[in-house]
Amino acid sequence: MKKINFSSKFTKFNDRWSPKVIAEMNDYQFKLVKIKDDFIWHKHDDTDEVFIVLDGTIFIEFEDETIQINEGEMIVVPKGIKHKPYANKEAKIMLVEPSGVVNTGDKEDKLTAPNDEWV
């Protein structure tokens, strides 16, 4: 059993929009991601998805509003809801979602990241 230090894990990668698994709880994974600029519109039909902002500020565009999420804040994106995350400056976030979730959801894109990459 080992504790996990977020800052230390973030020093181990620099690619953006490519979630790195840091922990598994039952069949769920905790993933760290560095993000900047625009992601793509997508949805996850089978699961909710949690975004926790650890450093910086992110925005998530939904069809009828855009929500700003700062360090020390989180949001649950319900399954089936189209969303497009973006950040004006690089931000560091943690995702919580079932193992096997693909970052671009229902879309295949150049931003589609490999799954189950641990750091």
Under the rule (CB under 8 A), what is the footprint of a second copy?
1-7, 23-26, 28, 30, 47-50, 54, 62, 65, 67-70, 72-79, 81, 96-98
- For the bound state, the minimum distance from the C-beta of residue 32 to a second copy, rounded and expressed in Å, comes to 11
Minimum distance of a second copy from residue 111's CB (angstroms): 23
The 10 Å Cβ neighbour count of residue 86 is: 16
Are 103 and 17 spatial neighbours (Cβ–Cβ below 8 Å)?
yes
- Which of 12, 79 has the CB closer to a second copy? 79
- Quote the least distance from Cβ 110 to a second copy, whole Å: 28
DSSP 112: P
Of the candidates 34, 81, 84, 88, the residue with the CA atom closest to the CA atom of residue 58: 88
